[in-house]
Chain A
Amino acid sequence: NAGVTQTPKFRILKIGQSMTLQCAQDMNHNYMYWYRQDPGMGLKLIYYSVGAGITDKGEVPNGYNVSRSTTEDFPLRLELAAPSQTSVYFCASRVNTEAFFGQGTRLTVV
Chain B
Amino acid sequence: GQQLNQSPQSMFIQEGEDVSMNCTSSSIFNTWLWYKQEPGEGPVLLIALYKAGELTSNGRLTAQFGITRKDSFLNISASIPSDVGIYFCAERYNNNDMRFGAGTRLTVKP
Could you tell me which A residues sit within 8 Å of B by CB distance? 4, 31, 33, 35, 40-43, 45, 48, 50, 56, 58-59, 90, 92, 94, 97-99, 101-104
Q: Name the B residues within 8 Å of A48 (CB-CB).
A: 96-98
Residues of the A chain whose Cβ atoms lie less than 8 Å from the Cβ of B45: 97-99
Docked Cα-Cα span, A4 to B100, in Å, equals: 19
B35 / chain A contacts, CB cutoff of 8 Å: 99
Q: How many residues of B contact A (CB 8 A)?
A: 25
Check A43/B48 contact, CB under 8 A, given A59-B1, A102-B42: no
Q: Which residue of A lies closest to B33 (CB)?
A: A97
Given contacts A41-B102, A42-B101, A42-B103, contact A101 B44 (CB under 8 A): yes
Residues of A within 8 A of B33 (CB): 97
Is residue B99 within 8 Å, beta carbon to beta carbon, of the partner chain?
yes
Report the separation of the CA atoms of residues A36 and B29 in the bound assembly, to the nearest whole angstrom: 23
Return A28 CB to nearest CB of chain B, in Å: 18
* B96 and A90 contacting across the interface, CB-CB below 8 Å: no
C-alpha gap A7/B35 in the complex (Å): 23
For residue A38, give the distance in angstroms from its CB to the closest CB of chain B. Answer: 10
**Closest chain B CB from A76 CB (angstroms):** 15
Is B31 part of the binding interface, using a Cβ–Cβ cutoff of 8 Å? yes
The distance from the CB of A102 to the nearest CB of chain B, in whole angstroms, is 6
Confirm or deny: B40 has a beta carbon within 8 angstroms of a beta carbon on chain A. yes
The CB with the most chain A CB atoms within 10 A, among B35, B97, B101, is that of: B97
Residue of B nearest to A57 (CB): B97
Q: Using a CB-CB cutoff of 8 Å, which residues 11-70 of chain B contact chain A?
A: 31, 33, 35, 40-45, 48, 50
